[in-house]
Structure 1
Amino acid sequence: MTRPAWLPDNFVLSLLGVVGLALLLPVQGQGVPVLDALTQAAVALLFFLHGSKLSRRVVWEGLLHWRLHALVFAATFVLFPVLGLLLRPWLEPLVGHTLYLGVLFICALPSTVQSSIAFTSVARGNVAAALCSASTSNILGMAVTPLLMAALAQWAGGAADAGAVKLSWHTFEGIVFTLLLPFVAGQVLQGWTGGWVARHKAWIRMSDQGTILLVVYGAFSAATVQGLYRQLPPLTLLALVGISALLLALVMPLLTVLSRVLGFSREDEIAIVFCGSKKTLASGVPMAQILFAGQAVGLLVLPLMVFHQLQLMVCAPLARHYADRPADAGAPPATRST
């Protein structure tokens, strides 16, 4: 039986379960450093496996499609932040200042990899370009997101908010050693590890999801211990859903129109829409732990979790809609370019 598009998938249900566990049984005391060490190791392994999985040939093919990537990167790192700042007079009163910073954090994040590629594939779009664009967005995001988030916090709230974003050598050291170096190591060792990763896709997917669950549990446990959720009204959570819907409602149609005006093929349009409108949870939560060290990380990632679920619910029927179009003549969807 096919799962309805509006129903959360098993991973989202697991996320909700982990949040509930963190609310009822948060990790405390001596368990905190143990969980932190385990989380860092799991995140490093996650990025090592991504480096081992990403084909150099596909990366090279995708890199040649620079116009598509330029539009995706502009949407990811320019359009979203501009919208986040322009909508501040309406968004911040709805959810409060801390959660609004969480919304800005969404706007500063790179694209997501797995679901962007999966939806592009289902929709019969340019999979090679989507793979390269989403992956490159994540790599660039390791450097761009901290700088962009610091700038957004400065513009939104002044020096106090900018100081809440930990832009020190320790911040970049954490990103380099936890995220970037494991990814590079995976690329370098791909000749030895790539085959194993390709044969164990289910295990890799479980590792990805398990790492996210672990990080979310730690973030929400810390927020629970600090008592941050006791004053979170249900209407605020509903407002976060509305904000996420508004961002998607603005970005996705605009990318569709721009793709057609700029003369991209339908396959390229699909990759642009899915890669340019999505934000990563897998990289976002670990980044939040590093960037907002000592802050209310659980609250700051709550908007991202809401946005993540909504983008899946919106993209699933859209991918099926694209897939139902008549087959195009000419080159296969995975290789066609403008």
Structure 2
Amino acid sequence: MRRLRRPSRLPIDPYIVLLLGTVGLAALFPARGAAADVFSGASTAAIALLFFLYGARLSTREALDGLRHWRLHVTVLACTFLIFPVLGLAARGLVPVLLTHPLYQGLLFLTLVPSTVQSSIAFTSIARGNVPAAICAGSFSSLVGIVVTPLLAAVLLGSSGGGFSADSLVGIVLQLLVPFLAGQVLRRWIGGFVTRHKKVLGYVDRGSILLVVYTAFSEGVAQGIWHQVSPLRLGGLLVVEAVLLAVMLLLTWYGAKALRFGREDRITIQFAGSKKSLAAGLPMAGVLFGAHASLAVLPLMLFHQMQLMVCAVITRRRARDPLPEQGPGGSSADPSPVDAGPRSR
């Protein structure tokens, strides 16, 4: 029963408070002139370090073991990189009634980023879902997103993406893909060090993202970009994101049922397929949008906090659900022989 209390601490994410504080700092004291150049260089190095550590952490063996549950992973990837972008494109009809064009570009970018890893695993564990599958699904999504997100951005955002161009693709390769592959190659020698110092390196991760956010929002403030966002437009964005999240939560839960996945797998698909990664999205936006990244990441930051709050409520409910063998009415959740994956207790 102790595990049931954990979600109550999840809705108010302290890291979101730090992110908002960083945005406030950039609004009051933006980096300008030579300082802006220094922060820009440091941000570039931080992004490369971040993805190097991602590569060093990802266990190739775990990823290969997870391939045996390929139907679940294909479903999550389809939700993340197919259904989400389609809904993002459909939201274009809301411009300019609810959204400005820059906010819509940020919303569309939000639909292109990979799924979360840590929070999806935590929610899946508390709700008694398929934790091994959640670990693999998050890892696969992050890995695929390094390549797919920039490609989708090139196709769907194009030159209207606030500076997105062929140079941005080169930047993605040099700042994200090359460090990630280097981390994978060197994992054989540094994997143990990374595992032993996971907590300390976690602070490096978060500090790097804060640096990226400060640099992006400083550039936005210097260009007067915040004059484009009114409270009314911000409210419209929140409404659109709430609808987007609700649609994805319903699609992932009932769609997985229609595909005859068991209860544990449906939980994994719902949490992994309906969420977007702030940790992966912020650095990518910094590379893709440059000085326009401040507005591009605003929808992602808001959606991230919203998904934590809503999924925490859902987790409480799922954790109280009787398992199929514990009560009646479990026929719809009984896993079929084909779809049954590894169970987690």
Q: TM-score, normalised by structure 2?
A: 0.87
Alignment of 1:92-111 (within 5 A): 92-111=96-115
- 263-272 vs 46-55, greater mean Cα deviation: 46-55
Matched, 1:260 2:257: yes
Which residue of structure 2 lines up, in the alignment, with residue 210 of structure 1? 207
Give 2:274's match in structure 1, choosing from 277, 283, 305.
Answer: 277
Give 1:146 deviation, angstroms: 2.0
- 179-188 vs 240-249, greater mean Cα deviation: 179-188
Which residue of structure 1 lines up, in the alignment, with residue 27 of structure 2? 23
Give 1:33 deviation, angstroms: 1.8
Which residue of structure 1 lines up, in the alignment, with residue 294 of structure 2? 298
- 203-212 vs 28-37, greater mean Cα deviation: 203-212
Give 1:209 deviation, angstroms: 1.5
Q: Percent identity?
A: 49
* Local SS of the residue matching 2:31: coil
Change (3 A) 1:76 1:92: farther
Which residue of structure 2 lines up, in the alignment, with residue 157 of structure 1? none
Q: Which runs of 5+ in 2 are unaligned?
A: 326-333
1:158-185 Cα shifts (integer Å, max 9, x gaps): xx526x45231x3233212221222222
Equivalences, count:
328
Change (3 A) 1:284 1:227: same
Matched, 1:77 2:81: yes
| Distance in 1, Cα, partners of 2:75 & 2:47 | 29
| Distance in 2, Cα, partners of 1:250 & 1:261 | 16
Which residue of structure 2 lines up, in the alignment, with residue 244 of structure 1? 241
Does structure 2 retain, via aligned residues, the 8 Å contact 1:146–1:167? no
Q: TM-score, normalised by structure 1?
A: 0.89
Matched, 1:307 2:306: no
Give 2:157's match in structure 1, choosing from 133, 153, 157.
Answer: 153
Whichever residue aligns with residue 19 of structure 1, its letter is V
1:55-75 Cα shifts (integer Å, max 9, x gaps): 223211212211111111111
Alignment of 1:94-133 (within 5 A): 94-133=98-137
Which residue of structure 1 lines up, in the alignment, with residue 330 of structure 2? none
Matched, 1:335 2:342: yes
* Local SS of the residue matching 1:115: helix
| Distance in 2, Cα, partners of 1:306 & 1:88 | 19
| Distance in 1, Cα, partners of 2:154 & 2:54 | 27
| Distance in 1, Cα, partners of 2:146 & 2:188 | 25
1:31-56 Cα shifts (integer Å, max 9, x gaps): 11211221122222222222222222
Give 1:4 deviation, angstroms: 4.5
Does structure 2 retain, via aligned residues, the 8 Å contact 1:63–1:129? no
Give 1:297 deviation, angstroms: 1.6
| Distance in 2, Cα, partners of 1:49 & 1:126 | 26
Poorly superposed stretches of 4+, deviation over 4 Å: 1-7, 327-331
